[in-house]
Structure 1
Amino acid sequence: MSSRLPIFFIVATVTIDAMGIGLIMPVMPDLLREVDGGNLSQAAIWGGILATTFAVMQFLFGPIIGSLSDQYGRKPILVISLVIMSIVYALSAIAGSIWILFVGRIIGGVSAATHATAAAYMADVSKPDEKAANFGLIGAGFGIGFVLGPVVGGLLAEFGTRAPFWAAAVLAMSNAALGWFVLHESVTDATRRAFTWKRANPFGAFKSITSFPGLGPLLLVYFFYQIGTVVYPSVWAFYGVERFEWSPSMIGVSLAVFGLCFAFVQGALVQPSIRRFGHRKTVVIGLALEATTLFIVAGITSGNILLLLIPFTALGAVGMPALQGIMSRRVSDDAQGEFQGVLTSVNSLAAIMAPLVMTRSFAYFTAPEAPVYLPGAPFIIAGTLMMIAVVIFQMRKRSSAAS
């Protein structure tokens, strides 16, 4: 039991962190219209700008935070990041203009190392054959947080658009306290590595990490996967309002259903899938399912049918922990923090590009002057990117076999 406690605590930390994110998603369309005074299409564009700003800061600072955790440990980085995030949520709660939200996204992007640092901690305490399953537990914790967060956020929206931000601030600070008191440091003198700016900047970190054999193509697959999945946080709320006239509480319910299914898949199905099909086939199955469901979602015209389809859409999540497990096993123990920082930067590159593309394509195809009314256009783009990821992964496999 004592050997499992660090894993339990890190999953609990990610769960509480995800709740803070999920709390604010149902109110974002209304909040952006409130502070900017525009319509839904304009709010979607501002949502994309804020998400991209957040992602740019994560791209620049992800490897720095990861390298700092390789030297100073995971625990202090986690706690400090959460304290800063609590302050950012409070700042957003009192925002009277779009520019205060913009500043909050800048600060939040710098400090948002929680997920990457938690993944590095998990890699530290996992045996090589346990990594994929334990990365799945992190995904499950994140999914559970999204079950609870949007539901509570939708309910709190009845008290105003600012209430969920105050709740997120309290959760982030509580999460920091939890991490301080229950997490044991996983970086030891044997695995500690000195911080250097050469590896800490994103470009130097990419060069360092891709020097590990076979990691470059896998990072490219991961990149296309992340671009594709960013469609959900980018336009789900706007898509629900436009397509099905969903209220904030209904958006919260839909996100909760997805989070519950996502948590079940990553917590219960990853390890059986890897045992049955192996890491590589599990990745292909996950990517193919993601592509299929994205194309289906794009054409749905009934909100009830979409809710019924959500369990099937979540099945694609089985592939990502398997891919992370493959990559993590190719990286040395003293570079896990740097590696997770690089994954944060890859996530950020996807989040820089995708929200602008997804929200603008949504705005273009839902505007009154649109040549074709197609609110599902972002999901078609995302499904195409998933198919590209499958092709790259399979080409890498054939290239390795030929070699």
Structure 2
Amino acid sequence: MNPEQVDASKPLPTNVRFVLITVFLDILGIGLIIPVLPRLVGSYIGQADSQAYWYGAIVAIYGVMQFVFAPMIGALSDRFGRRPVLLTCVFGLGLNFLLLTQVTSIYWMLVVRAIGGVTAGNLSVANAYIADVSSPENRSKALGKIGAMFGLGFICGPVIGGVLGEAHIHYPFYLAAAVSLANVVYGYFSLPESLAPDHRKAFHISAANPFAGLRGLSHLSGVGALVWVYALTMFAQFTLQTTWVLSTELRFGWTPMQNGLSLFMVGISSVLMQGVFLGRYIKRVGDANAVLIGLASSAIALTMYGLANQGWMMYVLILCNVLAFAAGPALQGFFSRAVDARSQGIAMGSLTGLASIMSVFATLIGTSLVGQVSHLDKGSVLLGAPFFLAATVQVMALTLAMRHLRKA
């Protein structure tokens, strides 16, 4: 057992703080471009429906490449350690942001995002890092810290990106590149290795097969149908994420600033639950109930997002959905506890790969729905179609989770 394992009653060990700061800077860079990426696509594509389809294609190709390569990234971290693989991925992310400012057509933008998806396995390596240094009973809380850093990045990134995007559409990408490359320098000097040499395992290309990784997840002891629960939850989440900016611009006429503010509120909710209350909340209700309550809260919120007819309602609903942010870490805790220390990287990489392929389906279907309803009157309830789809899928995930966890 690692001597610096996370204990709920003690301050975070130094190595965990380092990786959490690294993740924060990473998500900050991603958050910077979210409010302006649809507009960058729109600078090449004029019509609203075509913009939605091309935006979907660009987000989807990123997810496809992430699906293919994330298990390999995780397996490489099991072989060579978390530190070098994580730093390489962050460097690739920064380079991708920089290249996006140099593209001259929508086709080159598609190519650049495809290349970026190759090194997009950094969060799976970060999750494996946290799993290396946390005890099984504290695994969900420790993984929740990653979610909290995700929230902090979303508090700062989209707001800054929205402000910069109002001045020039490329400014958020330049800043995101600078943040990511600075993160590489910070990690090189500050991030220690978490995986001891005697816990590493040989790399086999067959183990990095994304489909083999998914089969392996389904065979983990005590997991079973939770693989499908995770997949459906990711589909709902990515449907929300990839259609949010398109939908709010279409329905409420929101600017990058307003979208940045809404994502700021998402970050606040995430940090409150995953960074402040998660440990005590899971201790009180348990991992299983945290999953069920979170999925139910999310399904209700998604339905209300679709029904909202005033922009201010979206902000209120975000803050009311705080319990949903406990479901992800609790689900990941089930998977992480089902594998040994030598396989955390490939397990987390497989989860990232599963999330990636769900993001592809969610993006293509969700943005197509936006394109289909883009010609409707602003008062039409059908403009909320992507959110209604996500809510339906979340109800399916909740039903499967209830059946599995009751049997368990």
Give the one of 16, 24, 28 matched to 2:25: 16
Give the structure 2 partner of residue 182 of structure 1: 190
- For 1:26, what is the secondary structure of its paired residue? coil
Give the one of 385, 397, 405 matched to 1:397: 405
Q: In 2, distance between residues paired with 1:395 and 1:308?
A: 32
Give the structure 1 partner of residue 283 of structure 2: 275
Contact 1:52 1:352 in 2 (8 A): yes
Q: Which runs of 5 or more structure 1 residues have no equivalent in the other structure?
A: none
The superposition leaves residues 270-322 of structure 1 with CA deviations (integer Å, 9 ceiling, x where unpaired) of 21221111111111000000001000111001111221221112321111111
Counterparts of residues 193-208 of structure 1 (less than 5 Å)? 193-208=201-216
Counterparts of residues 4-403 of structure 1 (less than 5 Å)? 4-36=13-45, 38-368=46-376, 374-400=382-408
Q: Tell me the CA shift for residue 107 of structure 1.
A: 0.9
Give the direction of change, closer, same or farther, for the CA distance of 1:307–1:2 in structure 2 (3 Å limit): closer
Contact 2:25 2:179 in 1 (8 A): yes
Q: Please, what TM-score do these two structures have when normalized by structure 2?
A: 0.94
- For 1:230, what is the secondary structure of its paired residue? helix
Q: Tell me the CA shift for residue 240 of structure 1.
A: 1.3
Which has the larger displacement, 63-72 or 214-223?
Answer: 214-223
| Aligned-partner residue type, residue 304 of structure 1 | W
The superposition leaves residues 113-145 of structure 1 with CA deviations (integer Å, 9 ceiling, x where unpaired) of 111100000000001111101111100101100
- For 2:201, what is the secondary structure of its paired residue? coil
Q: In 2, distance between residues paired with 1:136 and 1:3?
A: 13
The superposition leaves residues 156-184 of structure 1 with CA deviations (integer Å, 9 ceiling, x where unpaired) of 11331111111111011011111111111
Q: In 2, distance between residues paired with 1:2 and 1:398?
A: 35
The superposition leaves residues 85-106 of structure 1 with CA deviations (integer Å, 9 ceiling, x where unpaired) of 1111111011111112111111
Q: Tell me the CA shift for residue 206 of structure 1.
A: 2.4
| Aligned-partner residue type, residue 157 of structure 1 | G
- For 1:246, what is the secondary structure of its paired residue? coil
| Aligned-partner residue type, residue 17 of structure 2 | F
The superposition leaves residues 318-359 of structure 1 with CA deviations (integer Å, 9 ceiling, x where unpaired) of 111111112211111110000011001111111110001111
Give the direction of change, closer, same or farther, for the CA distance of 1:303–1:3 in structure 2 (3 Å limit): closer
Contact 1:270 1:322 in 2 (8 A): no
What is the number of equivalent residue pairs in this alignment? 398
Contact 1:94 1:162 in 2 (8 A): no
Give the structure 1 partner of residue 4 of structure 2: none
Q: In 1, distance between residues paired with 2:12 and 2:257?
A: 40
Contact 2:240 2:390 in 1 (8 A): no
Contact 1:73 1:185 in 2 (8 A): yes
Q: Tell me the CA shift for residue 258 of structure 1.
A: 1.3
Give the direction of change, closer, same or farther, for the CA distance of 1:3–1:159 in structure 2 (3 Å limit): closer
| Aligned-partner residue type, residue 374 of structure 1 | L
Give the direction of change, closer, same or farther, for the CA distance of 1:103–1:18 in structure 2 (3 Å limit): same
Q: In 2, distance between residues paired with 1:214 and 1:203?
A: 20
Contact 1:29 1:40 in 2 (8 A): no
Q: Which runs of 5 or more structure 2 residues have no equivalent in the other structure?
A: 1-9
Q: In 1, distance between residues paired with 2:298 and 2:182?
A: 34
Give the direction of change, closer, same or farther, for the CA distance of 1:41–1:314 in structure 2 (3 Å limit): farther
- For 2:198, what is the secondary structure of its paired residue? coil
Q: In 1, distance between residues paired with 2:368 and 2:51?
A: 11
Contact 1:261 1:314 in 2 (8 A): yes
Contact 1:285 1:316 in 2 (8 A): yes
| Aligned-partner residue type, residue 34 of structure 2 | M
Q: In 1, distance between residues paired with 2:377 and 2:268?
A: 38
